[in-house]
Each structure stands twice: as C-alpha cells, then as structure tokens.
Structure 1
Amino acid sequence: MLFKHNTPNNFRLKTTILLVLALCGILFLQQSAHSLEIPERPTGRVTDLAGLLTPNQIADLNRMLAEFEAKTTNEIAVLIIKSLEGENLEDYSIRVVEKWKLGQADKDNGVLLLIAVRDRKIRIEVGYGLEGVLPDGLAGSIIRNEIAPWFRKGKFYEGIKAGIIAIMQATKGEYKAPVKSRRRSKAFSPITGLIFLFILLSIISRLFGRRRYRRSAPFIFWGGFGGGFGGGFGGGFGGGGFSGGGGSFGGGGASGGW
C-alpha cells in the first residue's frame, strides 16, 4: 500500500529531474556549438571586423577615444563583427571584455560598444566602476536615441561616433536621456531561460499532482516572464584594459538593435 501511494510522487520527481537535466544539456550544447571566436586584444580602440568603416573614420574614432582616455583614464573600445553566428549577444560581450582586459583594475572603468552587423544588434557593456554614471537605462537610451537612428539610415560612422560621444558625456554626468526613453532595456540570456524553465516545470509538476485527485481543476499560467531583465546576468568576470591592468564587469549595460 505504501509503495502504491509513493509511486506517483516518485515518478513526478524523476520526470522533473530528467527534464531539467535534458534542458541543461541542450543549453550547454548550444553554448558550446556557438562559441564564436574572440579576436585578440587590439592595439587601437576600434576593431572593425566587418569592413564597416573607412581607415580615416577608424583613425578619427581612435584619436577621439585615446584623447578621452588620457584625460579621464576611462577606457572605451568599439568592436564591430559581421555576425554573432547564433551566439548570445550578452554572453559574447562579456567574453570580449574578459579577454581584452578592458578598464583599470583599481577603477573598473571600461566600456565596450559591440555591434553585430548582420544580426542588427548593439550592446554597451559597462564596467562596475561606471555603472553609477552609466546605468542600464541610460545605456539603453544611448542605443535607441543616439546610435540606432543613424544605423537605420545606413550611416554607421555617424551612429558610432554619436554613441561614443554620449558615453563620454554620461561618464562625466553630462548626458541626459529623453524622458520617454528612460526605460529599462530587455535582455534574455540562457540563465534567464533556465529560471523560466524551472518555474514552468514546477507549474507542470503541480498540475499533474492535482489531476490525480481533481481532474476538473483549471490550469492557470501566469505570464510576464522574461520581460524586465536588463543585462544583469553574466557573472563577475575580471576584465582588463589596454593599459590599466584589468577592470571588472558583471553584465551591466544594455542591448538593442536597429
């Protein structure tokens, strides 16, 4: 009698565990399959792997960024790639700043502007030390209001330059976002997906547990998951800089597109 009473519970538990393990395995394989190569740390501050800019435009941006770094010690880098090749934008951005060691170790003052051309995606990755002056919402506003409008016109140099200027202003407390654009950016990462799946599996488990005793019980799904995640995932990777020895990043920043 005891065996029969426990069998449904044991079955549900085993099924839930197997589903979680299978989903974790799928996510792991996806991440492994989409491990896009990170370019070596550049000598300049603008790396254009998509051929989007002319040599003169790259030189102008490099000069502007070098002068800003000399005055403030804040390090801003620009990386332009052709495609993410299926990889998550936020995860790739974190891997870049980790390898490049962007920012100074004692100030965590690095910023990466990442552009994936074919995916039409933009990411501003912000070091811990600058999150106070360049929070997620403000970074999102810079993407939406300063960069994306130019990109939609096909004027990539103008958009990148406008974004860089806005980032510089933000680090000095001089950039103010339009009121209508002050909203938290949305980002969806594999970690967010796992959280969602755990919640979903819990609901399914409860559903099957109740059906044995109450077949007429309704199934209620509470929506709203996945909406409000602003790039806070990614862990505390130790990044570094072109000359500062390495600042830290924890996923602060924002993502957008055009």
Structure 2
Amino acid sequence: MRQRTRMLVIFLMACVLVCTGCSHHGDDLDFVDDRAGLLTSGEKDRIARLGEKLLEELDIHIKTVVLKESPVDISEKAVDIFDRSELGKKTRESRGVLFLIDHMGRHVRLEIGYGLEGVFPDGFVGYIERRQMVPFFASGKVGNGIEAAYELLVEKAYGVTTVEHKESGNGEKTDAIHYSGGAGAETTIEIGGGALEKERSALAAEFNAQPSPLSALEKYGEVLRLRIKDPDLELYTPESRLFFAGWIVTDAQQDNESRKLESDLAAAEVITVEDRAVIRFPLSDRGSNPYFLVRGADGWMLDFAGMNRVIGFNHKNQWFFRTQGHPYLFAFDDVYCDKNGFPHEKRR
C-alpha cells in the first residue's frame, strides 16, 4: 500500500525535518557543498543526514550546493554540477535533485533529474521556490528554507511513487552520461532582505474563540485556506500567539496543511476533559497529528504552543510524542508509545 506523508505548518516551523535516530555514514559532500560558508555546521549536518535517509528510503539523491561566485548562466551551471556530481547514479533511474543557490547573484535553481521529471514537474518546483524557500531566505534562515523545501519534495514523492524503503546500492543503476535534461525552475531570492511582515488581518474579528473544539479546528481550516498569517488571532491561546509571532509561515505550508486537514476532518474524534480537548485522527495515518485545545472565558482556542512542546515529526512527517508528561494524556489511554515515542494502539 502506498504510504502517504503530510507536513503540518506548525511543527515544520519548530522542528523542521529533524532526522531522528539517523546514523552518520557516507560523504557529506554527496549531499551538501557550501562553498560560500553560508550554512552553519548544524544546518549542514541536518541536511546531509536528511539526504542520506531520502536516498535510502525514497531512492532520491538530493544535493545542495551554495556557490561562492555567481555563474554566467545558473541553468548551465546547474546542469554542469549535476553531471559532474553524477546525481542520480546511486539511484535506479537518474532520480537526482540539485538545489543550487547563488547568493551573490540572488538566484536559486532546482534542477531535476530525468527519472523525477514526472514526479516534480516544473510548475511544482517553481511553486516550492517562490512560496516556500523565498520567505525563509528573506528572513536570513537559509538552512531552514532548504530543509522546508526538502519536506515538500518528500510530501510530493510519497504521494506519487509506489516505492517504499528502497535501499540504495541494490538493483540496476543507470549508465547515463547526462543525468539532467534541464528540467526544473529558478527564481530570484533576497537573503536577509527582511523578515516577513505579520500585519493584523482585516478578517481577524472573524477568527475568535469558538463554541466547540471541532468548530475551532474548522475555523482554523479557514485561516489556512485564506492564507492568514496574523499571529494574534483570538482563535489561538495567548501563549500560541507569542509562539506564532516568532515563526515563519509560508503560503506553501498553509496550502499543504489545508488540503490535509480538509481530508482528515471527517475522521476526527473529539475527546474533552473539563477545559482541555484533543482532536484525534486514526493512527493508521501517521501524518495526521492530534490537535490540542483549551477552553477560555470566550470559548475554545487552539494550543499550538503546547502541541509544539509535546509533538515532533520525523523525516517522513510522521508524528511522535517528544514527552509523555503533558496535560493532554487523558485522550491517549488506548495508546502506548514505543521507545521513539511513536504511538500504537493497545491490543485488546
């Protein structure tokens, strides 16, 4: 059965693509080559570890290169690096992706290998650049922007490919001389050009605390569909408003979560104890995390700050508990967690 993963905007901003339990093997330059010194050592390590996992489990080889000097033509440079790096040679069908960042010339290009042109069409690649990477880069968060873009690629790949947990290095590999046919997209970037403005939404008065937990989550679905980024909505707990004020929210994140939430709502289960509530979804879909809510004087509010403390995601966007010492445990009496915090139904 095809396994689908989904990213959720709130946790992406806090624990974007944390590769839990990954062992270090292989050459980091196979996955990240920062010639300009733009990334921190921690960012390079996370990107490399993530690249290893995606190669092992998705048979996709993704590499990030940050140029020190601007090329005459970034598209030609991308094809040259792609072929010199032999991106896709370690996969079965030239399944390589190159993130090429020219910070001096203010351009970024995603080059797509032959074997992935049907999975990552040019329109989708351009959407990732404009709606996901650019906002992070503008705030000076280059590493986070790269990781966030990787997550959308993972989401798309799991929605298209039928291959699961394919190990690299086995089976027939490509003997192609050229690994890229020029597919992909490029866009203009501004690194550190300024943080995203979080202006008060003209519709803020429509997004207050709600009479029930489910109506609060449905209202949040409207926030996503309308791409509202106002952190001070009264639909959120006071602590969550502070939480949102410090995080970047992109159009791509909101679009993705909106689609997922719309498909999940029919299976929602609401569990309430006094002034706290949890909205759960079937554990069979590990990409559908629970939502936490608190009832205040004016109604139910979403507790995203609490969710961030308690819930994390692995490289496949599957949720797990960071800790089991939290005030929402009442909703998980029928669940046990393995050593990594992933929930499972108790046997009856």
TM-score, normalised on structure 2? 0.41
Per-residue deviation at 1:82?
2.3
Map of 1:88 onto structure 2:
73
Aligned residue in 1 for 2:39: 53
CA distance in 2, matches of 1:93, 1:166: 21
1:72-221 alignment to 2 at 5 Å? Answer: 72-85=58-71, 87-104=72-89, 106-173=92-159
Among residues 34, 53, 60, which one is paired with 1:67 in the alignment? 53
- Which protein is bigger by CA-based radius of gyration? 1
Q: Deviations over 1:104-146 (max 9, x none)?
A: 3641100001000111100000011111110000000000011
Gaps in structure 1 of 5+ consecutive residues: 1-40, 175-241
Q: What secondary structure sits across from 2:54 in the alignment? A: helix
Shift of 1:71: 0.6
Q: How much has 1:245 moved relative to structure 2? A: 5.7
Q: Over residues 177-207 of structure 1, what are the superposed CA-to-partner deviations in whole Å (9 max), with x where a residue is unaligned?
A: xxxxxxxxxxxxxxxxxxxxxxxxxxxxxxx
C-alpha contact 1:131 1:252 (8 A) present in aligned 2? yes
1:68 is displaced (CA, Å) by: 1.2
| Residue in 1 that maps onto 2:182 | 251
Judging by fraction of residues, say which structure has more helix.
Answer: 1
The amino acid that maps onto 1:122 is V
Which amino acid is the alignment partner of residue 251 of structure 1?
G
For residues 103 and 246 of structure 1, the distance between their equivalents in structure 2, rounded to whole angstroms, comes to: 10
Q: In 2, distance between residues paired with 1:42 and 1:68?
A: 14
CA spacing shift, 1:62–1:158, aligned 2, 3 Å? same
Q: Structure 1: how far apart are the matches of 2:88 and 2:44?
A: 21
2:28, 2:54 → 1: CA distance? 18
TM-aligned CA deviation for residue 64 of structure 1: 1.0
CA-based RMSD: 2.1
Q: Which amino acid aligns with 1:101?
A: E
Aligned partners of 2:102 and 2:108 also within 8 Å? yes
SS in structure 2 at match of 1:102: coil
Question: Closer, same or farther in 2 for the Cα pair 1:129/1:157, shift >3 Å?
Answer: same
Seen in structure 2, the aligned counterparts of structure 1 residues 93 and 128 have a Cα distance that, compared at 3 Å, is: same
CA displacement at 1:168 relative to structure 2: 2.0
Contact 1:102 1:246 in 2 (8 A): no
Residue 170 of structure 1 deviates from its aligned partner by: 2.0
SS at match of 1:118: coil
* Distance in structure 2 (CA, Å) of the matches to 1:65 and 1:246: 22
Q: Aligned pair count?
A: 150
Residue 44 in 1 paired to residue 30 in 2? Answer: yes
| Aligned-partner residue type, residue 141 of structure 2 | K
How high is the TM-score relative to the length of structure 1?
A: 0.54
Q: Secondary structure at the match of 1:173?
A: helix
CA contact 1:124–1:253 (8 Å) conserved in 2: yes
User: Greater strand percent: which structure?
Assistant: 2
Q: Residues 55 and 42 (structure 1 numbering): CA distance in 2 closer, same or farther, change over 3 Å?
A: closer
**Deviations 1:9-38 (Å, cap 9, x if unpaired)?**
xxxxxxxxxxxxxxxxxxxxxxxxxxxxxx
Instruction: Tell me how far apart the structure 2 counterparts of residues 124 and 100 of structure 1 sit (CA, whole Å).
Output: 15
**Which blocks of at least 5 consecutive residues in structure 2 are unaligned?**
1-26, 161-167, 190-348
Q: Alpha-carbon deviation of 1:257? A: 1.5
- Mapped to 1, the partners of 2:127 and 2:117 lie a distance apart of 14
For residue 172 of structure 1, report the CA deviation from its aligned partner: 2.1
- Aligned with 1:250: secondary structure? strand
Report the residue type matching 2:144 in the other structure. E
Quick one: higher RCO (CA 8 Å, sep 6+), 1 or 2? 1
